[in-house]
Amino acid sequence: MGAQKKGGGGARVSEDAEEQSHQRLQAILLADSFATKFRPVTLERPKVLLPIVNVPMIDYTLAWLEYAGIEEVFVFCCAHSIQIIEYLEKSEWYSHPNLVVRTIESHKSISAGDALRYMYEQQTETSQIQGDFVLVSGDTVSNMPLADLIQEHRERKKKDEKAIMTMVIKQSKSSSLTHQSRLGTDQLFIAVDPLTKQLLHYEEDKIDHPRGSVCLDKSLLESNPSVLVCNDMQDCYIDICSPEVLSLFEDNFDYQHLRRHFVKGVLVDDIMGYKIFTHEIHSSYAARIDNFRSYDTVSKDIIQRWTFPYVPDINFSGNRPLKLGRQGIYRACDVIQSRSADVGASSVIGYGTKIGDGDKILNSVIGNGCSIGSNVVIEGSYIWNNVTIEDGCEIRNAIVSDGVKIRAGAVLQPGVVLSFNVVVGRDFVVPAYSKVSLLQQPTTEDSDEELEYADSSSRTADHLSGLNLQMESKASELGPDGAGYIWEVCEGAHDEEWKHSVAPIPEDKLAEITQAIDDDDTDDESVVPTSGELKSDADSINTDMNDPNDDYYDFEKEVEGTVLRAVEENIKVDLVTLEINGLRLSYNMESADCAGATFYSMMKLAVDTPHNSASELYKNAASIITKWKELLGFYVKKIDEQIEVIMKFEEMCQESPKELGPLFTQILHLLYDKDVLQEDAILRWAEEKAGADEADKVYLKQCETFIQWLKEASEEEDEDDEDEEEDD
């Protein structure tokens, strides 16, 4: 599988000899993000080859690694490996004097963890990785120097064998509203030892704790007198690793994600006492393009020259430099621009692009060979290469891939992503946030996190060949003369839609979030355990009750299912009790809970059985109770349990006052007659209720006469004749 491409061929032999003298600086570049955030575009082309400000992402990463003094890069290709290798072969990277680029291919890997395991296995045969290495992904844009950092890492490693990784972080305050950074990633909570910079805790928001607090282990604080908890840091996904990292991945075959599994594993499971350290960069730039929002942000940073020297007017990877004009407008020398066209600040226009009359281009990047008709408005958008835009189109905050045709008068609403060669029909309005591709949305979305486009490379080719057929058959989704499928938003990704889009967050969403924060905050109080506050405080009671309630609810559901099945299939009472007992153990419930739940299920059954009048309902209930009283009797041996049943019943009546409410006394009497409830229990319940609110006493009042009768009966057993009249 992993055919290994030796970059420069035999010319490398001489360098191998030098390896003894000094440790080569090596890097592993993962040319696969193992995620699906750039779909549908990545179905057809690997993410690292997508252009950012008209240069493929991987070029930024390689150029930076070369500049930072890395001597050898292993490019790990997974999905679309052929495309990547082809690209690298055509580019000048293979013949670069200072940087050796080798590619490693593996189609089996579906995660960063698999990739590193594969590297490790290869390692044993060829021992490519000799020492510490830099681990980055191919979508990193940075200009930070690495040599000092690697030196720092090595020295730390010399002193402390266990310091196996140094992680680069950068300050970046996430918005207090959306709780996401400007790169569109979830907010990150890390805890660092302020002196040694050792990483103590790593938590990305959503995955671990949707709750309002960060949990730190107590032992952490006991062993460190001071812990710095940061929320304003951005993980740059640039790691300096020691060879142990590879073997750790090998040992822990379930590690997939670099952060979620590996870092967490090292921190939480405390494997062999390994430690991870952080390095904060201040003046240099480092960011990873994780989603469409970060694509937008990083593009702007490049245009604003934060990433110098990796800016459009400098040739850093064989790209043709553009000319920088006033107001940060980069323009190729051969652009044909109509005099009436208006190109606004911070825009980039590539080679061979034609811009028609009356066009308005603002804050946008336009690739090579595009042709733009007249009176087109393009705002905050990214138009890749060879795109045709006809007259009068409006494009706002969209990404338009290579070869797309947008017919006259079409409108792309904010957040639209058009994949390769899509055709948007005349006057068609593509709704906001739609993702459009010529390929149909894959239906089997198994574990969407891990698989980016692992198996799609082979399929892509088929699809592309059969493209024309599909265009005709299913053209209507983008207007009569359009071509492409609008993908449905996958489940649970509605949030991602606007969070990870190139479009700015709309105001109504902001308002919504603000509202949500208010709600969250009020929740907080019950969620955060009140430190030392008295238990009698209302909030803390809620805290205590929350979980058992949920548990009880689940338990009740299970019991209900069991009873229902028992009734339907006429299962023996012993077996049902056995089953309920099992549930009771697994949910850690009391016998009284079983009684309540069983009774609840029985009454629910009665109510659910079709009936026309109250008397029919009573008959239903009576027959069920008569039939299953043994089951109930099994759990109501004690007075407390019987009271629980009455309370439960009362609760049910309150919930459906029309159905069961009027029958309260009758059914209570029935339960008494069938010896399910003893009079002591009923009287005790009445006593307890006597002190309750008026509203709670409705049912007590309803059965007052019955209780009265019970009281008298207990005093003198004889007087039942006349009382029975009252009860009926």
Partner 1 sequence: MDFQVVILAGGFSSNLVPLVSKEVPKALLPVANRPVLSYVLDLLESNNLKDLIVVVEGEDAALKVGGWISSACVDRLHVEVAAVAENVGTAGALRAIAHHLTANDILIVSGDIVSDIPPGAVAATHRRHDAAVTVMLCAQPVSGPSESGGSGGKDKTKKPACEDIVGLDSWKQFLLYIAKGTEIKKDTRVNKSILCAAGKMELRSDLMDSHIYAFKRSVLQEVLDQKPAFRSLKQDVLPYLVRTQLRSDVSSDQNNVEENGNGKNNMQNNEVVLSQVLSNASLPSFHQVYESGLDSRKTHKCCVYIADESKYFVRLNSIQAFMDVNRDVIGDANHLSGYSFSAHHNIVHPSAELGSKTTVGPHCMLGEGSQVGDKCSVKRSVIGRHCRIGSNVKIVNSVVMDHATIGDGCSIQGSVICSNAQLQERVTLRDCQVEAGYIVCAGGEHKGETFARK
Per-residue DSSP letter, 9 = G
Token pair belonging to 298? 């990083």
Which residue's CB is nearer to partner 1, number 9 or number 225?
Answer: 225
Among 13, 17, 469, 534, binds partner 1 (CB under 8 A): 534
Residue 388 binds partner 1, judged by CB under 8 A = no
CA atoms in the 13 A half-sphere facing the CB of 214: 16
Binder to partner 1 among 148, 161, 537, 680 (CB under 8 A)? 537
Q: Return the H-helix or E-strand segment holding 74.
A: strand 72-77
Least Cβ distance, residue 35 to partner 1 (angstroms): 25
- Site residues for partner 1, 551-590, by CB under 8 A, read none
Q: Which is nearer to partner 1, 189 or 277 (CB)?
A: 189
> Total residues contacting partner 1 (rule CB under 8 A)?
44
Compute the least distance from the CB of residue 217 to partner 1, in Å.
Answer: 6
Distance CA 617, CA 619 (A): 5
Query: Per CB under 8 A, does 529 bind partner 1?
Result: yes
Nearer to partner 1, 213 or 714 (CB): 213
Tell which one of 18, 270, 533, 719 touches partner 1 (CB under 8 A): 533
**Which residue's structure tokens are 């030392």?**
532
Residue 289 Cα to chain centre, angstroms? 16
Task: Tell me the three state secondary structure of residue 330.
Answer: strand
Nearer Cβ to partner 1 (191/636): 191
| Contact assessment for residue 100 and residue 72, using Cβ atoms and an 8 Å cutoff | yes
Residues 268 and 260: their CA atoms lie apart, in Å, by: 11
Q: Binding residue for partner 1 (CB under 8 A) from 212, 325, 431, 582?
A: 212
What is the rounded distance in angstroms from the CA atom of residue 302 to the CA atom of residue 236? 16
Closer to partner 1 by Cβ: residue 174 or 368: 174
Which residue bears the tokens 């591709």?
A: 437
If binding is defined by CB under 8 A, does position 256 make contact with partner 1?
Answer: no
Distance in angstroms (rounded) separating the CA atoms of residues 124 and 311: 40
229 near partner 1, judged by CB under 8 A: yes
Q: Cβ closer to partner 1: 187 or 375? A: 187
The residue (of 187 and 642) whose beta carbon lies closer to partner 1 is 187
| CA atoms of 378 and 367, how far apart (whole Å) | 13
The span from the CA of 28 to the CA of 6, in Å, is: 15
Beta bridge partners of 323: 331
How far is the C-alpha of 112 from the C-alpha of 600, rounded, in Å? 51
Is 230 among the residues that bind partner 1 (CB under 8 A)?
yes
Which range, of 7-15, 184-192, 461-469, 628-636, touches partner 1 by CB under 8 A?
A: 184-192
**221 binds partner 1, rule: CB under 8 A:** yes
Q: How far apart are CA 404 and CA 370, in angstroms?
A: 10
Which residue number, 57 or 183, has a Cβ lying nearer to partner 1? 183
- What is the closest distance, in whole angstroms, from the C-beta atom of residue 279 to partner 1 in the complex? 17
Phi-psi category of residue 492: left, alpha or beta, with phi > 0 → left and psi -120 to 50 → alpha = left
Give the footprint of partner 1 on residues 485-524 (CB under 8 A): 514, 517, 520-521, 524
The piece of 169-177, 419-427, 487-495, 541-549 that touches partner 1 (CB under 8 A) is 169-177
Q: Cα separation of 107 and 536, whole Å? A: 60
Q: Are 611 and 620 contacting, i.e. CB atoms less than 8 angstroms apart?
A: yes
428: nearest Cα among 399, 401, 393 = 393
Asked if 216 is part of the footprint of partner 1 (rule: CB under 8 A), the reply reads yes
Among 4, 151, 176, 623, binds partner 1 (CB under 8 A): 176
Dihedral sign (CA 383, 389, 395, 400): negative
By CB under 8 A, residue 530 contacts partner 1? yes
Q: Does 179 bind partner 1 (CB under 8 A)?
A: yes
> Which lies closer to partner 1 via its Cβ, residue 208 or residue 496?
208
Which residue in 646, 669, 685 sits closest to 726, CA to CA? 669
Record the tokens describing residue 12, joined without a space. 């490398």
Q: Which of 82, 131, 160, 228 binds partner 1 (CB under 8 A)?
A: 228
Piece in contact with partner 1 (CB under 8 A), picked from 155-163, 216-224, 443-451, 484-492: 216-224
Cα separation of 489 and 495, whole Å? 10
Which of the ranges 142-150, 478-486, 533-541, 711-719 carries the binding residues for partner 1, by CB under 8 A?
533-541
User: Residue 203 or residue 390: which is nearer to partner 1 going by CB?
Assistant: 203
Residues lying near partner 1 in the complex (CB under 8 A): 173-174, 176-177, 179, 187, 189, 191, 194, 211-218, 220-222, 224-232, 514, 517, 520-521, 524-525, 528-534, 536-537
